[in-house]
Chain A
Amino acid sequence: MAKQEWRLLLTGDMSAFDNMALDEAILRCAVAGASPSTLRFYGWKPSAVSIGYFQGIEQEVDLDVCREQGVDVIRRLTGGGAVFHEHGSEITYSLAVKDDYPGIPKKVLDSYTLLCAGLVAGFRQLGLDAEFKPINDILVNGKKISGNAQTRRFGGILQHGTLLCDVNLQLMFSLLKVPSEKIRDKLIAGVEERVTSIRREIGMADNDVVIQAMVAGFAEVLDIRLSPGTVSDEELALLERVKEERYANPTWNFKR
């Protein structure tokens, strides 16, 4: 059987609001059959903190420090934890397919295993001994290098996640709320032990090289062919709509 053809989108750096709105627009269009199944890679400019669907924005994020640092804050469509998307220090991917796409398990936990296997294969292409750690993490040498989150809605599956190229824990923990100031340094030391980055592991983190490795990883695991494409006019129009309705809207971002 011929391999399924997917679209590969490289959209570069965009704002948090455009990034999250585009992920939703792609998902909706993929479900409607207006867009092919899509794998997208992108960056964040300016840097931003994204929080999970169920998180309390004021519980998790120091909004004053974010404002001072010019860091945007946004609520995702997906659950999971707060992520600091530092401009230039991480690559985000997103994957959107119909929920009846052949071979994708109905059970969310099982589908993480499958989709994260694409990333694991990608990290291995980079020479990293990566492993999937349920529920939604990828580890290298026992340390987290990627976190992932999924939603199922509109009749589709959207999974997005972060690939750490560099880590700046001092900055990250100044933006996120910690249980108490007293333990901030101890907390950072603890996370330092549990988190790594591509640069730390292999001394380089060239975006193009990392993305090409991940593309090869997904192509292998999902048995697909990825062809570079562009964002459609319909997706762009939808992006503007859902950005206004949701992602750039305080009612959405502050709803919890």
Chain B
Amino acid sequence: MPIQPGISNADVRFGDYKAIGGKLLRVRMTVTADNSPVIQTLRITGDFFMHPEEAIEDLEQLLTGAPLDETALRERVQTFFAGDVQVVGADVSDFVTALLKAV
């Protein structure tokens, strides 16, 4: 099933990454089709913990529009982690690794 109307499955990219000693992060994303692609839609799922839980939507929002390079992704994930949120079972690098797997 397409994750958004109008986006075919062929455009969807997946990345799974199990944090060492931690939890599984599963990334599903679509990217824009131009010369310098950015994340168009993003869904991060898995068996990790995040408090408050709704913050996951902020993280997804923050990463939407991000260029597909490690520095840019890391910067945004770091910004999110620096906020008022507790993530258990995965750290900044784990999220970046999972994102890069989907790229």
User: Chain B residue with minimal CB distance to A51?
Assistant: B47
- Contact of B86 with A52 in the complex, beta carbons under 8 Å: no
A233 to B102, CA, bound (A): 49
Residues of A within 8 A of B46 (CB): 52, 54-55
Cβ contacts B23-53/A at 8 Å (1 or 0 each): 1101010000000000000011111111111
With A54-B53, A54-B56 given, is the CB distance from A135 to B89 under 8 Å? yes
A88 to B54, CA, bound (A): 33
Cβ contacts A82-104/B at 8 Å (1 or 0 each): 10000000000000000000000
Residues of A within 8 A of B22 (CB): 135
> What is the interface size of chain B, counting residues whose CB is below 8 A from a CB of the partner?
21
- Contact of B47 with A81 in the complex, beta carbons under 8 Å: yes
B1 at the interface (CB under 8 A from A): yes
With both chains docked as a complex, state the minimum distance between the C-beta of A142 and any C-beta of chain B, in angstroms.
16
Within 8 A of B (CB), among A36-77: 52-56, 58-59, 77
With both chains docked as a complex, state the minimum distance between the C-beta of A175 and any C-beta of chain B, in angstroms.
16
Q: How large is the interface on A (under 10, 10 to 19, 20 to 34, 35 or more residues)?
A: 20 to 34
Q: Identify which of A58, A149, A153, A256 contacts B49 (C-beta below 8 A).
A: A149
B88 at the interface (CB under 8 A from A): yes
- Contact of A151 with B51 in the complex, beta carbons under 8 Å: yes
A177 to B24, CA, bound (A): 14
Q: Identify which of A56, A107, A109 contacts B43 (C-beta below 8 A).
A: A56
Chain A interface secondary structure, helix, strand, loop or mixed? loop
With both chains docked as a complex, state the minimum distance between the C-beta of B61 and any C-beta of chain A, in angstroms.
15
User: Chain B residue with minimal CB distance to A147?
Assistant: B47
A35 at the interface (CB under 8 A from B): no
With A108-B88, A109-B88, A135-B88 given, is the CB distance from A152 to B45 under 8 Å? no
Of B22, B28, B89, the most chain A CB neighbours within 10 A belong to B89
A54 to B25, CA, bound (A): 10
A77 to B44, CA, bound (A): 17
- Contact of B86 with A54 in the complex, beta carbons under 8 Å: no
Residues of A within 8 A of B48 (CB): 54, 79
A77 to B53, CA, bound (A): 8
Q: Identify which of A54, A107, A108, A135 contacts B44 (C-beta below 8 A).
A: A54
With both chains docked as a complex, state the minimum distance between the C-beta of B3 and any C-beta of chain A, in angstroms.
10
Chain B contacts to A: CB under 8 angstroms: 1, 22-24, 26, 28, 43-53, 56, 86, 88-89
Leading 7 A-B pairs by shortest Cβ distance = A81-B47, A79-B49, A56-B45, A53-B53, A152-B51, A52-B47, A108-B88
Given contacts A54-B50, A55-B47, A151-B51, 20 further A-B contacts (CB under 8 A): A53-B53, A54-B45, A54-B46, A54-B48, A54-B53, A54-B56, A56-B28, A58-B1, A77-B53, A79-B47, A79-B48, A80-B47, A81-B24, A108-B51, A109-B88, A135-B22, A135-B23, A151-B53, A152-B51, A256-B45
Could you jot down 18 A-B contacts, CB within 8 Å?
A54-B45, A54-B48, A55-B45, A55-B46, A55-B47, A78-B49, A79-B89, A80-B49, A81-B23, A81-B24, A107-B86, A109-B88, A135-B49, A135-B88, A135-B89, A136-B49, A152-B51, A153-B53
